[in-house]
Amino acid sequence: MGAVMMGGVTALPATAAAVVAHAAGDLRIEDIPVAAPKPDEAVIEVAFGGICGSDLHYWLHGAAGESVLKAPMILGHEIVGTVLLAAADGTGPAAGSRVAVHPATPGPGAAPYPEDRPNLSPGCTYLGSAARVPHTDGAFSRYAALPARMLRTLPAGLELRTAALVEPASVAWHAVSRAGT
């Protein structure tokens, strides 16, 4: 069952399907509890997700480099969808906005890093990563509660299916720009 309107308010289902890696060669589609969002989180109805090399490594090998699965983990960080519930604190896009997700979360502490480059933050984590325990679940699920700061509103006319390539294309674009001519 999907989200439903009740008295003008969107009610989330108790559970939703997700792609969960348990170990090497053990990938399952499971019903997981739909998390209630924190005040700074929006609930996204996920439309599409790109399959990253790390997703494949967790599934096929139970690890991506030094990041080893020690517990079941929801895969996926290259996702797009529609904001179903906006963040209660008023940050981020409004309900109905089509968004891509920036998968990085800056590490704790006051270490300086450029605001637009959370990946440079010491202790940075990523959706769908087993680099730390507990693992950081990804968003290959029907619904995902994500910090509003991760959401990037998509331009009008950009189809969600095409937009799913935003994150992997930006990684490639960044690599080419860093490499220079």
Q: Which residue has the higher pLDDT, 5 or 51?
A: 51
Q: Give the chain's domains with CATH numbers.
A: 11-179 (3.90.180.10)
- Calpha distance 171→18 (Å, rounded): 25
Local confidence band at 119 (pLDDT 50, 70, 90 cut-offs)? confident
Q: Tens of pLDDT along 150-177?
A: 999 999 999 999 999 877 888 888 899 9
pLDDT of residue 6: 46
Residue 52 burial class via C-beta count within 10 angstroms: exposed 0-12, middle 13-18, buried 19 and up: buried
- Residues constituting the chain: 181
pLDDT of residue 104: 87
- Calpha distance 24→61 (Å, rounded): 4
Task: Supply the pTM of this predicted model.
Answer: 0.88
- Calpha distance 128→130 (Å, rounded): 7
pLDDT of residue 110 exceeding 70: no
Local confidence band at 117 (pLDDT 50, 70, 90 cut-offs)? confident
Percent of the chain scored above 90 by pLDDT?
71
pLDDT of residue 4: 55
pLDDT of residue 9: 57
Measured in whole angstroms, the distance separating CA 160 from the mean position of its chain's CA atoms is: 15
Percent of the chain scored above 70 by pLDDT?
94
pLDDT of residue 7 exceeding 60: no
Q: Which residue has the higher pLDDT, 178 or 75?
A: 75
Beta strands in the chain (DSSP E): 4-6, 9-11, 15-23, 26-33, 41-50, 63-64, 67-68, 73-74, 78-85, 98-101, 104-105, 125-126, 143-147, 151-153
pLDDT of residue 1: 56
As a whole number, mean pLDDT of residues 21-45 equals 97
